[in-house]
Chains A and B, each alone.
Chain A
């Protein structure tokens, strides 16, 4: 049995989500190699080689893979993955983009967003926005799997010395091109890897009021998130959305401000270690999952909180 983990990276470095995917791969009980596909991605490849317990790191370094275009990456992963029993990737926006394409090319199902490995062919995954956990069994000889990263503790990033070798042909499907990107530049940590997250909901009333979260976020080194209601209302961009259809987070501390606690939001944050809810509606469902609830007007509570931490 052998497992290929697809690395999530930014060419220069390995993303932490890769370490969660490796943890899920370990649960499958097979030998693990990592594939790093990118452009000028030596930094990421070296970081992957330092992960303990990895057989080898396969590197496909070509301009065709620099921006992770699904049309090109999927051809590569299908080719390299042909020799493996399992192909595993973190369920990030990037891997969710190309992994189903890989599965279709290999004519197998994809098992999306697994939260537990019961055996080599049986997995748990949330459905219906996390209201239900399904146990599914795969009949495919080859398994294409994406991993809900918050459900698996990251493996160590240092201590290994895997061999690094080039792999795969250059696949450029020639049907898509990268035009540009607008990546939010921020000194704050990324939502999915932050130790502390503070999120605002519809109770924030407008986008301007999200500034009230910024001072607290700066003091705590927190990332700022939002509920779907706040995104739908146009307060903040969608990449801040925490929830079943947005980002899944599990920080040490999650502070929900003006968020009622719709199930689809809870699905995205209920694995946080400590949850704080600030809401003026004492019956809000968010209080049913909060370790510490404060029934208060957020416009009074936030400035006070900022001054006292």
Chain B
């Protein structure tokens, strides 16, 4: 039962991303061609709302379910891994039009060929795990 709330969050997440068209390959193409405001509007208002929520949490107005302060884990410092890793991800994102959330959501919408993409993404993650110590971070 403790997993039920996560299942529900996932279902809502899937519905929002389909209804917002953020899972549309065409919307991603349009975004990277600067031909529509749609995706920028989604990402912009998501971040603005997120900043507001986290500022309220920081000031102690919102606590988590355990009554503790809400805190986002700090990302490690660095530059190379973020810029290079980010660029590699961006190349893939724009090619297949799906990032690691939409991959599963699109599978649910009936795009079964997404299983190939997911399998390849697992192999990509596996390759990173193997090569991690040899890569600049």
A and B co-occur in one complex: no
On B, residues with C-beta under 8 Å from A are none
On A, residues with C-beta under 8 Å from B are none
